[in-house]
Amino acid sequence: MAGAKGYSSYRGREPKLKIILAVFLVLVILAAAAVIYIQQNLVYGDDGRYRLDLPWQEDIAAPDAGTPPEEPPQVELVIQEPEAPPSSLTLSLSAAPLTMELWEAAQGQACDAVCVTLKDTAGSLYFDAAHGVSGGVRTQADTAAALAALTGREDVAAVARFSCLHDPRTANSNVRNLALRNTGGYIFYDGNNSQWLDPTKPAAREYLCGLVGEIAALGFDEILLTDLSYPTEGKINKIDYNGDGPLEDNLRLLLTELKAALEPYEGVTLSLELPETVITAGYDPVSGQKLADLAPLVDRVYAVTEPDRAEVLAEAVKTAGEDTLFVPELAADDPDLKGPRLVLPAPPEA
């Protein structure tokens, strides 16, 4: 029994020792293989240090060879140039009733706007005005149709030239309530033996505002006021200015009421023609025109000038009215000018 017991103990210890030795040997082999593998994947970096670059890290970072790399989104760079001022050409027709013949001739010329006279310095009205004085309306049989054709064009702006205070016909129709008078109480005659309306008289202002409203109702895009002034020729020392207030206040009052008369007609441009001398000097004590008072009340200021003077005049107008645009009136077109311009009709042949 003792022999059998001893044999049993010996046989039990031998397998455990072999297993331990086998495991240890496997671990030594794995460790050696790991050291060799690591040494093969050690990389000396730019920062002077070693780093371990494992193959599967490259597989994760690298895109699939069959899939093209994703391109970055394309960004379209748009450089917005500052808007240039409008470069439109306005063609002015002679002071006469508009007829279909004149309108068709105007359409044959390249222009963006057509300017027609609807009230001239004689007080004549070239449209069917309900507010006109007796004998003041002078139209042709097809004037209404021609005006409707002009205002109906969407690609051509319709501009109406309108003489304000230089109006002998209306002044003589009612001297007491409308006309500018002399210190003796009679109607005043200027140096050209012509007569004017008095802007201090409510009836005169009401008459002019009524006509301007009628013109706007016809569909005109712009109304160009002229002769918004006192006379500058003749015995001006004999004028009864009908009050002690400054002349510029009387003109500003009239222009303010004309502007108000256009308020119901949205989109109508109100413009004013001034002498070049008033724009450069800023004020004319005889005519009563003061640029700083009048320019802010209108959208555009016009003046008869030469092309090389346009830039100086535009700067003066902008100083007086920040949002007011200057438009030169030229004897002949100059395409090199920037911005709108009005070409005057050729003078009649002698």
Tell me what the mean pLDDT of segment 328-347 comes to.
Answer: 90
Q: What is the chain's percent helix, strand, coil content, to nearest 5? A: 40, 20, 45
- The residue among 265, 258, 271 whose CA lies nearest residue 327 is 271
CA atoms within 13 A on the CB side of 158: 21
Sign of the CA dihedral with 218 first, then 136, 118, and 190 last:
negative
What the block records as the tokens of 109 is: 């010329």
Least confident of 62-66, 140-144, 251-255: 62-66
Tell me what the mean pLDDT of segment 319-342 comes to.
Answer: 93
Q: What is the DSSP string of 203-244?
A: HHHHHHHHHHHHHHHTT-SEEEEE--S---SS-GGGEE-SSS
Q: Based on the fold, state whether residues 265 and 323 are members of the same structural domain.
A: yes
Whether 314 contacts 339, CB under 8 Å: yes
Query: What is the distance between the alpha carbons of residues 258 and 211, in angstroms, rounded to a whole number?
Result: 10
Give the pLDDT of residue 13: 46
Q: Based on the fold, state whether residues 30 and 152 are members of the same structural domain.
A: no
Q: Based on the fold, state whether residues 205 and 276 are members of the same structural domain.
A: yes
- 4 lies in some domain: no
Q: Based on the fold, state whether residues 109 and 183 are members of the same structural domain.
A: yes
> Which has more confidence, 215 or 61?
215
Give the pLDDT of residue 2: 43
Q: Please report which residue ranges of the chain form alpha helices under DSSP H.
A: 2-41, 55-61, 100-107, 143-152, 168-173, 175-178, 202-217, 247-261, 276-281, 291-294, 310-320
pLDDT band at 37 (very low <50, low <70, confident <90, very high): low
CA atoms within 13 A on the CB side of 341: 24
Q: Based on the fold, state whether residues 179 and 318 are members of the same structural domain.
A: yes
Give the pLDDT of residue 8: 39
pLDDT band at 107 (very low <50, low <70, confident <90, very high): confident
Query: What is the distance between the alpha carbons of residues 145 and 100, in angstroms, rounded to a whole number?
Result: 7
Tell me what the mean pLDDT of segment 295-314 comes to.
Answer: 97
* 3-state DSSP assignment of residue 8: helix
pLDDT surpassing 90 at residue 72: no
Q: Based on the fold, state whether residues 38 and 120 are members of the same structural domain.
A: no
pLDDT band at 42 (very low <50, low <70, confident <90, very high): low
Residues 6+ apart with CB under 8 A from 286: 230, 232, 236
- 2 lies in some domain: no
pLDDT surpassing 70 at residue 122: yes
Residues 6+ apart with CB under 8 A from 189: 195, 234
Q: Based on the fold, state whether residues 57 and 129 are members of the same structural domain.
A: no
- 78 lies in some domain: no
Tell me what the mean pLDDT of segment 217-241 comes to.
Answer: 97
What the block records as the tokens of 158 is: 């319709």
pLDDT surpassing 80 at residue 48: no
Whether 285 contacts 247, CB under 8 Å: yes
| Structural domain boundaries, residue 52 | 12-61
Q: Based on the fold, state whether residues 285 and 219 are members of the same structural domain.
A: yes
- 302 lies in some domain: yes
Q: Based on the fold, state whether residues 207 and 293 are members of the same structural domain.
A: yes
- The residue among 310, 274, 303 whose CA lies nearest residue 291 is 274
Kindly report, residue by residue over 125-169, the tens digit of the pLDDT. 999 999 899 899 999 999 999 999 999 999 999 999 999 999 999
> Which has more confidence, 26 or 119?
119
Which residues sit opposite 328 in a β-bridge?
303
Query: What is the distance between the alpha carbons of residues 242 and 162, in angstroms, rounded to a whole number?
Result: 24
Give the pLDDT of residue 7: 34
The residue type found at 104 is: E
Q: Based on the fold, state whether residues 57 and 131 are members of the same structural domain.
A: no
Whether 196 contacts 190, CB under 8 Å: yes
Query: What is the distance between the alpha carbons of residues 250 and 94, in angstroms, rounded to a whole number?
Result: 30
pLDDT band at 56 (very low <50, low <70, confident <90, very high): low
- 80 lies in some domain: no
Query: What is the distance between the alpha carbons of residues 216 and 269, in angstroms, rounded to a whole number?
Result: 10
- The residue among 204, 113, 135, 215 whose CA lies nearest residue 164 is 204
Give the pLDDT of residue 10: 37
Q: Provide the number of structural domains found in the chain.
A: 2
What the block records as the tokens of 115 is: 């300017």
Q: Based on the fold, state whether residues 114 and 258 are members of the same structural domain.
A: yes
- 70 lies in some domain: no
Give the pLDDT of residue 74: 55
Give the pLDDT of residue 3: 42
Angle between helices 247-261 and 202-217 (to 10 degrees): 30
Question: Pairing between strand 222-226 and 269-273?
Answer: parallel
- 5 lies in some domain: no
> Which has more confidence, 16 or 290?
290
Give the pLDDT of residue 88: 82
- 228 lies in some domain: yes
Q: Based on the fold, state whether residues 102 and 46 are members of the same structural domain.
A: no
Give the pLDDT of residue 105: 87
Whether the predicted model's global pTM rises above the 0.95 cut = no
Query: What is the distance between the alpha carbons of residues 3 and 13, in angstroms, rounded to a whole number?
Result: 16
φ, ψ dihedrals at 43, nearest 5°: -125, 135
Give me the CATH number covering residue 301.
3.20.20.80
Kindly report, residue by residue over 176-193, the tens digit of the pLDDT. 999 999 999 999 999 999
pLDDT surpassing 50 at residue 26: yes
